[in-house]
Amino acid sequence: HKVLVLHGPNLNLLGTRQPEVYGRETLEDIDNGLYEQAALGGWEITCRQSNHEGELIDLIQAARLDGTAAIIINPAAYTHTSVAILDALNAFDGRVIEVHLSNVHKREAFRHHSYVSLRADGVIAGLGSQGYRAALDAVMAD
């Protein structure tokens, strides 16, 4: 029972980056909570952040081969641009949950389209860091 959490570009700045949009919690705060939650559920979890599209793709490709059952991904700005991340996720057989801290549908039009949603089994937006916790609960309930 293994889950991979991927955070895309600029999410390393959480806590100080537009806190009115993304909240005051740091990425470390969020990941620490997820590690705790996963441990309670008896799941193995890895949380990774990258500012590089290719590194996110490498991590998704590695998850195909190492028994990862689910990927929880906040692709950040790559959500709206990356056919390559969509293709990598399409090659992954497990569950995919897409998470956005903010409600992207309430924001600029360019944030309304998600390539990743063409693959995601579930999408959570606008719940802040609670979205990751809800996604992990859903994965572990499976």
- H or E element, residue 18: none
Return the number of the residue (38 or 101) whose C-beta is nearest ligand DQA: 101
Distance (Å, whole) CA 73 – CA 96: 7
The residues facing 100 across adjacent strands are 125
- Whether residue 74 is annotated as binding a ligand: the answer is yes
22 is catalytic: yes
Distance (Å, whole) CA 134 – CA 127: 9
**Choosing from 22, 78, 115, 132, which is the catalytic residue?**
22
Q: Note whether 139 and 71 are within 8 A (CB).
A: no
- Residues within the interface to ligand DQA (CB under 6 A): 10, 74, 76-77, 79, 100-102, 104, 111
Return the number of the residue (54 or 67) whose C-beta is nearest ligand DQA: 54
CB of 116 to ligand DQA, least distance (A): 10
Catalytically annotated residues: 22, 100
